[in-house]
Structure 1
């Protein structure tokens, strides 16, 4: 890694050795910076350029023309210009030892490409309220700090840059071109914070921000930024990025009509991801915001945001883990949920394998489980058991077992509605439906017990009815000793009810059939017998479901 950061070291003379310095990179290793005073230098310095050198040596205030960025954009006065080559010479130490306060340029036109490639500097660089007429490159550079704020620039390519204490790119206006990205920070390491607040980045031929493998020891700020890119992989690309602080994208506007607005697969954020009040427009099937396999140590908040995808998902958090709470109001996805039980389901999410901390309603308003359930049921591409199981586990962990049962019942209904072939043939699907009605798929055993009691009452009622229906001189159910007599003798009401229960529950015989039973010689005896058999079958089925439900044997969890 060291060989990539600095130029090969040369053997120094005693005179040259006095100008060398040592800096410590974000990785903790110390780099000796070579004396480049023998390299060719500019020899026709303008007044503003000489003032800049003197101010940087003395640690004075920023040097510039005093013009605003808008005035500099239309200004062609050479007196307001500083050549970019001079800034490189100063950072290389060719213009003498600089004050630790660094080089500070404010309100000037920086002409030419600001080339900081492979520069290992002892002083930081601040360029504010300037117009940089060409691109800025800082590939594999190493700087104590870097600030490019309130400027107009072209591409900013800083692959593999190492910045010790922070990198401020706030309020920039970047008009980049090319498929490699307008601002590039792949594999870079920022020791402090990375600030891109209020920055406008437009690239009509590629991504706006390309930073896979970026590591930031502090926070990343994209607050109130405006980014527009054209890339199938994302306008913002933060694949495998690692942020030891928080990632704040609050109030940003991000657009990409051919792919995700923000792609951050396998992102690692230690202190939370804030996407509040963002306005996002994405395209393609991979999600307007894509966070597949991300790990978020704090909270994930998407409050008061507007997510749009002209073709596919608006949010993809498949296999993402959030260690704390998730603030994702259903209104981000579905504007009709709070006033309607149904919705048009136009916006979709992928939350398969999504894991999060407990769901709680706070003043900050975490998304309650009912809204999560609606999101899973109505705004996912297809039935998946994982989201239901995760939501149920979160509610159970919070001590809300009743909510967990409702969620798992909804899972089985969704399985029946959206993945019926997974249940088997037509007969199996009918049984699944009946199982849900009678037993709540094993989660409402009291419903099964109630149905069992009702069926037992029906059995007793059939016996009572049979004792009040006559055929000739006999009753359908009567005293057994009078079956062969010309006229039968009726049973008591208690005996008739006991007859129905006895026939419905043959394993719990009451002995009443020795005194009172169905007379087989009557015309309607066979019909009553069949009716009681059917009732008996229902009783057996319900008894089995109730027993299995109470013991947890038939509760589907996958």
Structure 2
């Protein structure tokens, strides 16, 4: 195309790209630039004369499809505040850098794009314009050598056609960071199998797809952290299954609204769900804190958090839905909700080294079977009665493990008395499920030897029965039943009745009549019961050792 055929704006661009300047068409009556002119300047044989220059175009109206599919462009491309009437195409192109601040586009086809530097699809501070895409912005399989900027942008698709998304960044690879802040997305944002070497930042962004899946980032790999943070809003479900995050996932202050409705066949968190992150691996902390608000349930089954899993200051975690933490592993677990969750908290088979909690934020239903924790918060003011109440919450039937775990933690902290109380509570719970004979024998064991944890009680019973028997038998009339009996001694006679395995010579030599005869038989039975209880208690103590 000869220069004489250029429109006014195109002539400015042709001159600017050779002088490393910017062609700003804001003052022109006709701001039209044909896409084919841009292609010619970049791809014509003499384009090689511009290795360190580039295309810098501002406030233009770009007509026609800009097709740079498969092109190799070794100079920067900057479109500042431009309006593209047709879809720009960069499929499998290799670019030095691409910036489109404040541009309005009907989508962007950049599948397989390779950018040596950064890709900027963001608002323009200079012009006060947001980046707007009204069709699919496809970065499927793209590779960015620097940072991907998607700030101050509005992304949408008309009528949400099938398999068309406002942002499709599946299999995207970004060497540095992905900055998607203060952006509005109407539809689903996809990052399946994407890889980001640095930080993924969603602070201030709103993703709207009410009642459906709005953020799909399964198997996302992030070298550093994911920041949702304050003012992030998702209307729909956030999906982070099997993601790998080297740093922290920060959900502090995030708002998850309009959750997706699930059915019973779709998993244990049936009902509505706001966040699902099955099997996620986090190198540092998972912070569901400081005003976090979720209208639906949370499901973190089998998540692994090296540092801290914290709900400190979380305002709302569902509207009666389950908080699913089964199989979760965390260095520290902070269950410090601002408002008591109205749904069930499932900690089945979860594990943490340090548990920090507060009875005021415990839900009514807590599943603790298989939950293992190494320590409780030092100097915690939670009483043992409150701990036992937590153990019993959500327990259907008798489950020994929650009691045994709590007793083990108390014992390892040197709190033997508390450990014994928990063990006794476990025995009471176990025997409460037995039949009448088992429950009756449980009452005897508790009263006489404290289920083997208070064997000294047997000594008190022996002393008390001996005193009462000695007084009663000492005031009775003893009759010898053998020739040349030993002298009658009321204390020794009482002990001879109470100790069935000992022969002190009194019971065989003397007999008491009347009502005292019934008392002697009662003492013999009491002796056998007491001895059996002591043996049972000692056996249990030896088994624990």
TM-score (norm 2): 0.70
Q: Which residue of 1 aligns with 2:499?
A: 505
CA distance in 1, matches of 2:376, 2:502: 48
Q: Which residue of 2 aligns with 1:105?
A: 100
Q: Which residue of 2 aligns with 1:75?
A: none
**Long gaps (5+) in structure 2:** 1-41, 45-55, 124-130, 157-165, 262-271, 343-357
Determine whether 1:216 maps to 2:222: yes
Equivalent residue of 1:298, what SS? strand
Q: Which residue of 1 aligns with 2:253?
A: 251
Q: Residue 316 of structure 1: CA displacement?
A: 1.7
CA distance in 1, matches of 2:328, 2:295: 20
Deviation string, structure 1 residues 428-454 (Cα, Å, up to 9, x no partner): 344345544554444x22xx3224422
Q: Which residue of 2 aligns with 1:274?
A: 287
Equivalent residue of 1:152, what SS? strand
Deviation string, structure 1 residues 353-391 (Cα, Å, up to 9, x no partner): 3444533338xx898987665433225677544444444
Q: Which residue of 1 aligns with 2:274?
A: 261
Q: Which residue of 2 aligns with 1:518?
A: 511
Q: Which residue of 2 aligns with 1:431?
A: 441
CA contact (8 A) 1:172 1:198 kept: yes
Deviation string, structure 1 residues 108-163 (Cα, Å, up to 9, x no partner): 24221122222233232112222222332222222123111122212322122111
Determine whether 1:375 maps to 2:390: yes
Equivalent residue of 2:501, what SS? helix
In structure 2, the CA distance between the partners of 1:409 and 1:541, relative to structure 1 (3 Å rule), is: same
Q: Which residue of 1 aligns with 2:80?
A: 64
Equivalent residue of 2:375, what SS? coil
Equivalent residue of 1:260, what SS? strand
In structure 2, the CA distance between the partners of 1:208 and 1:367, relative to structure 1 (3 Å rule), is: farther
Q: Residue 427 of structure 1: CA displacement?
A: 2.5
After TM superposition, the structure 1 = structure 2 runs for residues 249-398 of structure 1, keeping only pairs within 5 Å, are: 249-255=251-257, 256=259, 258=261, 259-283=272-296, 288-313=297-322, 315-322=323-330, 324-329=331-336, 333=340, 347-361=364-378, 373-378=388-393, 384-398=399-413
CA distance in 2, matches of 1:169, 1:416: 59
Q: Residue 467 of structure 1: CA displacement?
A: 2.9
CA distance in 2, matches of 1:282, 1:464: 72
Q: Which residue of 2 aligns with 1:33?
A: none
Which of 513, 529, 532 aligns to 1:538? It is 529
Determine whether 1:551 maps to 2:542: yes
Greater strand share, structure number:
2
CA distance in 2, matches of 1:125, 1:216: 18
Which of 486, 495, 519 aligns to 1:528? It is 519
In structure 2, the CA distance between the partners of 1:308 and 1:193, relative to structure 1 (3 Å rule), is: closer
Equivalent residue of 2:121, what SS? strand
Deviation string, structure 1 residues 163-192 (Cα, Å, up to 9, x no partner): 11121112222121xxxxx11112221121
Q: Residue 547 of structure 1: CA displacement?
A: 1.7
CA distance in 1, matches of 2:483, 2:243: 90
After TM superposition, the structure 1 = structure 2 runs for residues 7-86 of structure 1, keeping only pairs within 5 Å, are: 48=59, 64-65=80-81, 80-82=82-84, 85-86=87-88
Determine whether 1:480 maps to 2:480: yes
After TM superposition, the structure 1 = structure 2 runs for residues 398-477 of structure 1, keeping only pairs within 5 Å, are: 398-415=413-430, 420=433, 424-432=434-442, 434-436=444-446, 438-442=448-452, 444-445=453-454, 448-469=455-476, 475=477
Deviation string, structure 1 residues 465-494 (Cα, Å, up to 9, x no partner): 13324xxxxx2xx2527999xxxx9x87xx
**Long gaps (5+) in structure 1:** 1-35, 39-44, 66-79, 177-181, 336-340, 470-474
Q: Which residue of 2 aligns with 1:163?
A: 174
TM-score (norm 1): 0.68
- RMSD of aligned residue pairs (Cα, Å): 4.0
CA distance in 1, matches of 2:298, 2:436: 40
CA distance in 2, matches of 1:115, 1:273: 35
CA contact (8 A) 1:456 1:504 kept: no
Q: Residue 310 of structure 1: CA displacement?
A: 3.2
Q: Which residue of 2 aligns with 1:20?
A: none
Q: Which residue of 2 aligns with 1:5?
A: none
In structure 2, the CA distance between the partners of 1:479 and 1:439, relative to structure 1 (3 Å rule), is: closer
Q: Residue 227 of structure 1: CA displacement?
A: 3.6
Q: Which residue of 2 aligns with 1:71?
A: none
Equivalent residue of 2:525, what SS? helix
CA distance in 2, matches of 1:467, 1:366: 53
CA distance in 1, matches of 2:439, 2:507: 39
CA distance in 1, matches of 2:217, 2:109: 20
CA contact (8 A) 1:167 1:192 kept: yes
CA contact (8 A) 1:276 1:301 kept: yes
**RCO (CA 8 Å, sep 6+): is it higher in 1 or 2?**
1
Q: Residue 345 of structure 1: CA displacement?
A: 7.8
In structure 2, the CA distance between the partners of 1:202 and 1:434, relative to structure 1 (3 Å rule), is: farther
CA distance in 2, matches of 1:190, 1:434: 65
